[in-house]
Amino acid sequence: MLLAITREVSPRIGSCELTYQERRPIDLELARLQHLQYEQVLAELGCTVHRLPSAPELPDSVFVEDTAIVLEELAVITRPGAESRRPEIEPVAAALGAYRHLEFITAPGTLDGGDVLHLDRHLFVGLSFRTNEAAVEQLRRVVERFGYRVTAVPLRGCLHLKSAATQVGHDTLLINREWIDGNAFGPVRLINVDAAEPEAANALLIEQAVVCSSAFPRTRQRLESSGIAVHAVDASELAKAEGGVTCCSLVFRG
């Protein structure tokens, strides 16, 4: 069974953490509608959606991806780089505990799940404002026991690794080379985002389909020209909170 853990948009999303964007008003009702439509697409692609309740005191809690890394053998509960986000992990850990053995990142490590790209038995971890070397070493010690490799990857000019590169096929990445060195990933196929759409590299692969933001039609055309089935969703309000389509779910097999 393919599962997707999501979380309802907090009524305080307008007070979210921001690193690269200026604060703009977020339409809460529109954000919730867009999030519901996103969940509907996940369901259409075969996911059983498990929505966690809203956390009014946690503005960023809709972005559940940052709280955990879910692998076949276990789930690693993160320690988000923004201190205000650390209480988000408890309900996600409780939900994942029904499906996976849990391990936890501890101080002084900080790790956002959006900085981890999982390709087969290899985890690439972006070194960002939110993720540090101490967490990379902790993650390495945990997952090496299960046969995974961990490689730290420098970033420039973006919030998370998955802002710069995401998997869109078995051996294919969608990438913004201005923010990350494509050579870091070894012999994989790279599809460049359109130069006019630098934020378009965040896409969510589910089975043989890719979910992406409708804000990036030129990059979508590049994906479709490469034979990739694309499902576009409107994520404009969540984008104002520096969120993308990967951020809003944890997708795994139960």
DSSP annotation of 79 reads B
What residue type is 109 in one-letter code? G
31 CB-contact burial (10 Å; exposed 0-12 / middle 13-18 / buried 19+): buried
Start-to-end Cα distance in the chain: 5
Spatial CA neighbour of 95 closest among 41, 51, 39: 51
- 160 among known catalytic residues: yes
- Cα–Cα distance, 107 to 130 (Å, whole number): 13
CB 173 within 8 A of CB 219: no
Q: 16, 47, 158, 160: which one is catalytic?
A: 160
Spatial CA neighbour of 8 closest among 37, 51, 65, 39: 51
Element (H, E) at 142: helix 133-143
The CA angle 61-66-70, to the nearest 5 degrees, is: 120
Catalytic machinery residues: 160, 247
